[in-house]
Chains A and B, each alone.
Chain A
């Protein structure tokens, strides 16, 4: 499919027409001067024709060259396509491997391979009962899970919830939901207590697991849980699980061409978001309940919305300082220029890290951490009704008092300052945060 003829035809054809016209004129007996003119023209036309011919030949040569290049590229592409694998092949895997790594030693495997299978394989020898377990649980677990495994704040509830699995908010506890007892032993032993994982002895673990079963009325307090009977213990919800059946139950139906037009007659808004989550210019998330109803919103048909709601009258945009006050609610209406009040505002944000466990302000109660009203100047470990670690009990006996340096050190490295504290929080890294949160805490007296 050479392009050369196409390029040559217009060029040569054009010249032929001009030459033909000159010949026609010379046959009509004109004067010598005219012949001279015509001869001049012929010479001109021949010169033009020659130039055009040359040009056409150059173009034809170039076209032929490009043809060849195209053919080369096409041949290369065909060759690549015919290759068995693309160039982005998977990583090579030679037989016999790479000889990387070193042999794992038996004591290394023993240290890390501690998971327990549902049939009890992997359990170390040991024993425990609910009577012993109650004490261990109170000491190591109750600050989050409650004395009776009922759960504190948002921490997991471990007991009860039987017959709730069919409810909209099922209470999924060890008793009501967990299918295998091995899972409880394995998890408690490896991952609990929160902030002190891996410190429980096998016997402590058997005792805690027995106490959790006891809290669920699944055993009596004399039942001795051991490595021999744990793997065969039958849990309440052992038959409550089916293996993923979405491919039969759902995919068969939903792997179909979806509707594109007139899929419904009308559409109404039936619910509006319950929680408004604001994105403030800075800082964390504020969410507030939204009391809006679906009333007043248009219904939709194929013709569009039933009406266009009147725009809410526009409010003049105020200075951005208004935004800032709104974005930091509950902060004391203090004078903005004051350094302390700025510190307090910053401290309130930092305190969000503490809020999960500590309450402060009016009506503050002990949660998984003690309430913090008037903590500065108070003797350590002295809040009524809070179950302190042994470390804080000792500090209380010594009469140690929370002052600025002590608090700063504690907040920077809780476990460094008070070895044995139950506080799981790893500490505040920034000195500015420590100062700020201290200033915030100080705004709350008794």
Chain B
């Protein structure tokens, strides 16, 4: 048996066995009565689990494979590393906190609300210290935003590398945040908010990750958030307070936010010079590439989510997003970009948030080269890998928003490929 098909193949065979029973007989003419229906099942007879069995519920054990995963050889240590959201197994747009990707520079810390302090200083009239309780007394807002690591899809610059959408596109999550607009805190401290000023934000963990944000953005839609999807932030996402910088690269969404400093120039910290900058073909680098451009990917079928039901009705499902605003359209190609059709959006996309798209088709069992292409409200259309390479070369790590291709073979197995 071909080595490369082992993982997906098992899944395929398991699935096809189940389908064979159904499809041979046909939906309307089952030949043998289904014992799951005709025989009394335990769960229909014995009682189930009582309330309070799990005061905070976890997904049922049958979903235990839907978890974050990392790629060990990418980084030197799991303490300074990243893992990936299982987007192949999710639908809709909201990412549950428990499987939303993590990225730490010195590990996730346990910081109690009681021990939390937020300082605002620098070019302000009144340098202030807020407690956690203070933060909750400012008027707050609710917004859904995606958070994408600038390195998402970064391993794919050189070619098709990782065989799974979780690994090629899983450095992203999308949550509903509750928080205080950063401008409210700036105003409270009497900050100099003239447009040539910057806001330097810093975390409380050992890495003390710090980033400089231009004042215009700081006053626009940046949130000092303390809830996600209705509940407290998880430790790994910066409990009790993180910064939300809508549409901009995840590294700026400083976790365990402890300090906001108004400064007269960018600090040019380690993360904003040596790391999150984009080396171009000639060796020069772009800096301050904050916005995440429009991007999309088909999450199913994909290598971890093969077609297991054979020919017939097939739901193609995927995600699209743009740091410039709303997704207005997603096109899907089944032939590697020769012909495109416009997909159906699950619902009208929120601004700077994930949008779900679907193409409902009858699959005839022929191989496909599946691609998706997002368009945002600025009219920007997601580029191909070739177009990106023409502009930037292959030296970069970050901001790879290329069109992804999955080769789906006649058996329904999907594979990460590059096409001409």
CA distance A277 to B70 in the complex (A): 10
Q: Is the CB of B162 within 8 A of A277?
A: yes
Taking CB atoms, residues of chain B closer than 8 Å to A108 are 119, 129
Whether B369 is near chain A, meaning CB under 8 Å from some CB there, is: yes
The reply on B391 being an interface residue by CB < 8 A is yes
Known: A92-B139, A109-B121, A273-B416. A281 touches B71 (CB 8 A): no
Cβ of A224 within 8 Å of any chain B Cβ, yes or no, is no
The complex places the Cα of A190 from the Cα of B10 at a distance, in Å, of 49
Given contact pairs A250-B391, A356-B78, A290 touches B4 in the complex (Cβ within 8 A): yes
B76 touches A251 (CB 8 A): no
B347 at interface, CB cutoff 8 A: no
Q: Is the CB of B162 within 8 A of A197?
A: no
Q: Mark A274-312, 1 if CB is under 8 A from B, else 0.
A: 111111111011011011101001101110110011011
> Is there contact, CB below 8 Å, between B138 and A272?
no
Q: A residues within 8 A CB of B79?
A: 194, 424-426
**For the side of the interface on A, what is the size category?**
35 or more
Chain B neighbourhood of A257, CB < 8 A: 381
A261 / chain B contacts, CB cutoff of 8 Å: 339-340
The chain B residue with its CB closest to the CB of A91 is: B139
Contacts of B362 on A, CB cut-off 8 Å?
none
Binds B, one of A15-23, A263-271, A380-388: A263-271
| Partner-contacting stretch, out of A46-54, A69-77, A79-87, A167-175 | A167-175
Q: Would A352 and B340 be within 8 Å (CB), given that A269-B417, A308-B365 are in contact?
A: no
Give the CA-CA distance A146 to B109 in the complex, in Å: 27
**Complex: A258 Cα to B374 Cα, angstroms:** 10
Contact indicator A91/B141 (Cβ below 8 Å) = yes
Residues in A with CB closer than 8 Å to B163 are: 273, 275-277, 290
In the assembled complex, the Cα of A290 lies from the Cα of B369 at a distance in Å of 19
Q: A258 touching B340 by the CB < 8 A rule? A: yes
A415 to chain B, nearest CB (A): 13
Is the beta-carbon distance between B269 and A168 smaller than 8 angstroms? no
- Asked if B378 is at the interface (CB within 8 A of a chain A CB), the reply is yes
Q: Does B229 contact A (CB under 8 A)?
A: no
Asked whether A243 lies within 8 Å of B366 as measured between CB atoms, the reply is no
A330 within 8 A of B: no
Q: B227 at interface (Cβ–Cβ under 8 A)?
A: no
A300 and B72 contact, Cβ closer than 8 Å, known pairs A274-B161, A290-B163? no
Given A167-B395, A302-B339, A309-B367, A103 contacting B331 (CB threshold 8 A): no
Give the interface segment out of B177-185, B237-245, B349-357.
B177-185
**Contact between A256 and B127, CB atoms less than 8 A apart:** no
How far, in angstroms, from A169 to B277 measured CA to CA in the complex? 14
* In contact, A97 and B187 (Cβ under 8 angstroms): yes
Beyond A97-B188, A241-B284, whether A312 also contacts B277 by CB under 8 A is no
Tell me, yes or no, whether B40 is within 8 Å of chain A by CB.
Answer: no
Q: Give the residues in chain B near A326, CB-CB below 8 Å.
A: 6
Total A-B contacts with CB atoms under 8 angstroms apart: 355
| A186 pairs with B2, CB closer than 8 A | no
Q: Cβ of B416: which chain A residues have Cβ within 8 Å of it? A: 272-273
Does any Cβ of A come within 8 Å of B195's Cβ?
A: no
Residues 158-198 of B, flagged 1 when their CB comes within 8 A of A and 0 if not, give 11111110110000000000001101100111100000000
**Beta-carbon contact of B127 and A109 below 8 Å:** yes
Complex Cα spacing A315 to B282, Å: 51
B62-97 Cβ-contact flags toward A at 8 Å (1 or 0) = 001100011111111111100000000000000000
A314 contacts chain B at the CB level, 8 A cutoff:
yes
Complex interface: stretch among A24-32, A177-185, A338-346: A177-185
Are B71 and A98 in touch, CB under 8 angstroms? no
Query: Closest residue to A302 on the B side, CB-wise?
Result: B338
Which positions 251-306 of chain B face chain A at CB distance < 8 Å? 258-259, 261, 263, 265, 267-270, 273-274, 277, 279, 281-291, 293, 303-304
Query: Which listed segment binds B: A34-42, A110-118, A125-133, A400-408?
Result: A110-118
When chains A and B are docked, how far (Å) is the Cα of A425 from the Cα of B387? 42
Assuming A166-B282, A183-B270, is B338 touching A263 (CB within 8 A)? yes
Give the CA-CA distance A297 to B73 in the complex, in Å: 30
Check B338 against A91 for contact (C-beta < 8 Å).
no
| CB < 8 Å neighbour of A284 from B72, B120, B265, B395 | B72
Chain B residue nearest to A180 in the complex (CB): B268
> Digit string of A91-113 for contact with B (CB within 8 Å is 1, else 0)?
11100011011111000110011
- The answer for the CA separation of A281 and B279 in the assembled complex, in Å, is 38
Alpha-carbon gap, A160 to B124, bound state (A): 41
**Would you mind naming 11 contact pairs between A and B with Cβ atoms under 8 Å apart?**
A91-B139, A97-B187, A165-B285, A178-B273, A182-B268, A246-B293, A260-B341, A268-B419, A282-B65, A291-B3, A305-B366
